[in-house]
């Protein structure tokens, strides 16, 4: 049987990808950000997962305003890094798992989540920057990836509670998958930031730190927050944090927070991450 063995969440900042690609990780500005991911790279070498269900958001890279899927599941054999305006990142092709994706599609639709199935999907910084942070510079990614893109760019976006329910349904679907896979679930986005409008530059470090402390042991308040609450506390783009709830809900009620890191600012964002394991 397939098993979800870890839940990981992190920010996904394009400038972190650029610093990584240009070999600037040891510069004073970036070093504290990248140092925070040394632990998880070692963790991944030990854990050696087979596949990551990677919940992120597209930033109008693959899905423009002509089609706005609320929940889009990547079912293709492979996913190319997207050109976000300055050429595709020089990172490996992302290999999919169409058999697991097909199973998830079936189970989630039976569970009344009306998924959009993506048989072609270029993946942007929301997916590739966390891969670089968790695995470093590699010739090939050491895992297969099933992308799950959540719409957080165009209202109406799904509620926090809906994301939570989706995560719980993913956990059920993985448990019903017969192959003996080591599966991780990731959520990327946030932390607090606002890239636009009167509050452009807004970062709420206190709210970020409270989130990192609460997401493992006490996620209920975040599940109950409205879209407006997210924008108010975390900024308009900080609302990307709802992807962390998909990850959290796919884990058991009781989890161990085995690693966390926070550094702000990183570009316009509080850069944070957590690694969770199910409690025995």
Does 159 contact ligand DHB by CB under 6 A? no
Stretch that binds ligand DHB, among 25-33, 66-74, 93-101, 261-269 (CB under 6 A): 261-269
Q: Does 89 interact with ligand DHB (rule: CB under 6 A)?
A: no
Q: What are the counts of helices (DSSP H) followed by strands (DSSP E) for the chain?
A: 10, 10
Distances (CA, A) of 139 to 57, 136, 201, 247: 25, 10, 35, 27
Please say which residue, 132 or 269, places its beta carbon nearer to ligand DHB: 269
Q: Single out the residue of 7, 14, 74, 187 in contact with ligand DHB (rule: CB under 6 A).
A: 14
* Active-site annotation holds for 125: yes
Q: How far is the CB of 214 from ligand DHB (least distance, A)?
A: 20
Tell me the torsion sign for CA atoms 89, 145, 51, 279.
positive
Task: Sheet containing 71-74: give its strands across.
Answer: 116-118, 71-74, 144-150, 51-56, 182-188, 3-10, 269-278, 255-266
Strand-pairing partners, residue 188, are: 10
193 is a catalytic site residue? yes
Determine the Cα angle at 161 with ends 152 and 191, to 5°: 45
Question: Which of 269, 272, 276, 277 touches ligand DHB (CB under 6 A)?
Answer: 269
DSSP code string of 192-236: S---SSTTTT---HHHHHHHHHHHHH--HHHHH--HHHHHHHH-T
Q: Minimal distance in Å, beta carbon 239 to ligand DHB?
A: 10
Three-state DSSP class for 144? strand
In this chain, which stretch among 132-140, 148-156, 221-229, 266-274 interacts with ligand DHB, using CB under 6 A?
A: 266-274
Site membership for ligand DHB, residue 59 (CB under 6 A): yes
From 4, 6, 123, 268, residue interacting with ligand DHB (rule: CB under 6 A) = 268
Residue 64 three-state SS: coil
15-30: buried (b, 16+ CB within 10 Å) or exposed (e) per residue?
bbbbbbbeeebeeeeb
- Footprint of ligand DHB on residues 192-231 (CB under 6 A)? 193, 195
13 binding ligand DHB? (CB under 6 A): yes
Q: How far is the CB of 212 from ligand DHB (least distance, A)?
A: 16
Q: How far is the CB of 76 from ligand DHB (least distance, A)?
A: 22
Q: What count of other Cβ atoms lies within 10 Å of the Cβ of residue 206?
A: 10
**Contact, 149 vs 156, CB < 8 A?**
no
Instruction: Given the residues 125, 259, 261, 263, select the one marked as catalytic.
Output: 125
Task: By CB under 6 A, name the one of 2, 4, 8, 12 that touches ligand DHB.
Answer: 12
Q: Which residue stretch of 7-15, 144-152, 163-171, 254-262 sits at the interface with ligand DHB (rule: CB under 6 A)?
A: 7-15
Active site residues: 125, 193
Which chain residues interact with ligand DHB by CB under 6 A?
Answer: 12-15, 59, 193, 195, 237, 240, 267-269
């Amino acid at each position: 049987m397939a098993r979800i063995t870890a839940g990981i969440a992190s920010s996904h900042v394009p400038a972190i990808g650029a610093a990584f690609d240009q070999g600037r990780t040891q510069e004073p500005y970036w070093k504290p950000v990248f140092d925070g991911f040394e632990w998880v790279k070692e963790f991944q070498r030990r854990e050696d997962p087979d596949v990551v269900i990677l919940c992120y958001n597209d930033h109008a890279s693959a899905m423009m305003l002509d089609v706005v899927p609320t929940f889009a599941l990547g079912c293709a054999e492979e996913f190319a890094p997207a050109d976000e305006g300055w050429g595709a990142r020089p990172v490996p092709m992302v290999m999919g798992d169409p058999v697991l994706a097909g199973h998830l599609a079936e189970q989630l639709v039976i569970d009344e989540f009306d998924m959009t199935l993506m048989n072609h999907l270029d993946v942007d910084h929301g997916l590739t920057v966390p891969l670089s942070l968790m695995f470093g510079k590699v010739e090939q990614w050491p895992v297969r990836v099933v992308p799950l893109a959540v719409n957080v760019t165009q209202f109406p976006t799904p509620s926090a509670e809906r994301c939570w329910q989706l995560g719980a349904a993913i956990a059920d679907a993985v448990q019903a998958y017969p192959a003996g896979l080591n599966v991780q679930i990731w959520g990327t986005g946030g932390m607090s930031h606002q890239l636009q409008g009167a509050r452009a530059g807004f970062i709420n470090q206190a709210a970020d730190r409270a989130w990192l402390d609460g997401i493992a042991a006490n996620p209920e308040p975040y599940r109950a927050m409205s879209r407006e609450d997210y924008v108010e506390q975390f900024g308009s783009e900080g609302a990307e944090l709802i992807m962390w709830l998909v990850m959290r809900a796919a884990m058991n009620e009781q989890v161990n927070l085995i690693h966390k890191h926070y550094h702000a600012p990183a570009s316009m964002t509080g850069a944070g991450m957590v690694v969770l394991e199910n409690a025995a």
